[in-house]
Amino acid sequence: MRDEYIYIDEKTIRQYISLHDRKLLGKDYELGVAIILKGFFELKKGFDCRIGLKLNPKYRELYIGRTEVLTFEEAKIFIEKHSLESDPVDVGISPTVKSSQNIGIVWPIQLKRFGYFQKEKDTIGLIKFLSKIGDRYAKSSIILVVFFDEHIGFDQRIVCDYFRLKDFPFERILFIDTNQNSEGVWKFHIGELWPNYDLNEYDIGDLVK
C-alpha cells in the first residue's frame, strides 16, 4: 500500500501542543517543528501548505473516503493512536491546493534534535551526529531536518564540505536554529544543505515579500 497521510489543521496542532504543555517532548516536539516547516515551505514555494502524519495501515478503514477536517478530539486520537510510529518519515508537508504542477506532492521529513542530548555541541559534534544518522538509513528522497535545541556554535560551511558524499542517504538537510531577542520574540534561522551541491541559508524575514 502506498504511503497515506492524514492532514491536521495548524490551529488544531497548536491547541494540542498547548493542552499537553510537555515542552515539545516526543510527538509534541515533532508537531512543533512541523509548524515551522510548514511556514518555511509556504514562504519559499509561494503557496499554502498543510501538515500530515502517516496513517498506520491497521486503521486505514477508519479514514477511507474521509474529506472533512478532523475535529480536535479526532485529531488527538489520530496523533496518539492511529499515526504510524517507528517510520523513517515523521511528518509530511504538502501543498494545500492541488494543481497540475503540485498534484501528489509530499515532502517527507525525518526530524532529529541536536544539542540537548549530545556531549559535543559544536561543529565536530554535529558532523559525528550526522555520520551516525547516515549509517542508519537507506537512500531515499526524505529530507532530514535537524532542530537545534542547544549548541555552542557550528560552521555550516565545514559541515557542507564534509558531507559532499554521494552515499549520504537523505536528499538534503535542513538546519533549524532558534533564538529569542531582547523583546522576547523568537527568531528562526534555517540552513539548507544539499549533499554534493552546496548550501543555502535563510533568514525567515528575507523570504517575506
- Residue 206 to residue 158: CA distance in whole angstroms: 24
Query: pLDDT at position 107, please?
Result: 93
Q: Which residue has the higher pLDDT, 128 or 153?
A: 128
Give residue 182's pLDDT. Answer: 60
pLDDT score for 186: 52
The residue-averaged pLDDT of 51-65 equals 92
User: In this predicted model, which residue has the larger pLDDT, 179 or 50?
Assistant: 50
The model's pTM is: 0.83
Q: How far is Cα 67 from Cα 38, in angstroms, rounded to an integer? A: 21
The radius of gyration computed from the CA coordinates of the chain, to the nearest angstrom, equals 17
All structural domains of the chain with their residue ranges? 5-95, 107-207
Least confident of 29-33, 43-47, 113-117, 143-147: 113-117
In whole angstroms, give the CA distance from residue 8 to residue 52.
6
pLDDT tens, 135-147?
Answer: 888 888 899 999 8
Which of 176, 60, 11, 196 lies closest to 109, judged by CA? 176
Question: At residue 131, does pLDDT exceed 70?
Answer: yes
- The whole-angstrom separation of Cα 154 and Cα 156 is 6
- pLDDT-derived band at 51, boundaries 50, 70, 90: very high
In whole angstroms, give the CA distance from residue 91 to residue 112.
12
Q: Which of 173-177, 185-189, 190-194 has the lowest mean pLDDT?
A: 185-189
Do 131 and 165 contact (CB within 8 A), yes or no?
no
